Amino acid sequence: MKKLLALFVFALVANISMAQKIDFDKKLKELGIELSTPTKPIANYVKAVRVGNLLYLSGHGPDKADGSKITGKVGAGMTIEQGYESAKQTGISILSTLKAELGDLNKVKRVVKVLGMVNCTDTFADQPKVINGFSDLMVAVFGDKGKHARSAVGMNSLPGNITTEIEIIVEVE
């Protein structure tokens, strides 16, 4: 009886741990997201620095697979919804860098901190709604591991007139 109980407990624990393990690369396919080769830094810096189990990613913009970027100023010809899509595209750029740095998105333990910057007019005040494009993507991909602390701020301008720039800190295995 003890052996049967031990076997049952082992099977239960194995099933729970397997159920909690999500293949994030597979999740990206389910969401219809294709990663691309990360862009090169535009100045004297690197895209990522690992310190212990934390990976710090430099600011990323909304890089598209064809090499173009989403540009424009929210509140001056660009809507909140378009800014949201820019932040989502920035998230895809960040996921591409994460994959290149780690080799496997399953090494992501947690998205810890996000700084989202929005190129916007001085009267625009809905930066959190724009950066939700990024945050919603992280939660869609990583579930609870994608929930993070965040700042969303407005900027007078961003490099190359990109609409959004986001930097993150990720806990990794």
Give pLDDT tens digits for 137-167: 999 999 999 999 999 999 999 999 999 999 9
pLDDT band at 14 (very low <50, low <70, confident <90, very high): very low
Q: For residue 3, what pLDDT is reported?
A: 57
- Percent of the chain at pLDDT above 90? 80
Q: For residue 23, what pLDDT is reported?
A: 87
pLDDT band at 22 (very low <50, low <70, confident <90, very high): confident
User: Structure tokens of 24?
Assistant: 């994030």
Give pLDDT tens digits for 53-98: 999 999 999 999 898 999 999 999 999 999 999 999 999 999 999 9
Tokens 């969401």 locate to 31
Q: For residue 50, what pLDDT is reported?
A: 97
Domains of the chain: 23-172 (3.30.1330.40)
Mean local confidence (pLDDT), 28-56: 93
Q: For residue 1, what pLDDT is reported?
A: 53
Of 89, 37, 33, 90, the closest CA to residue 59 belongs to: 90
Burial class (CB in 10 A: 0-12, 13-18, 19+), 33: middle
Tell me: pLDDT of 9 over 90: no
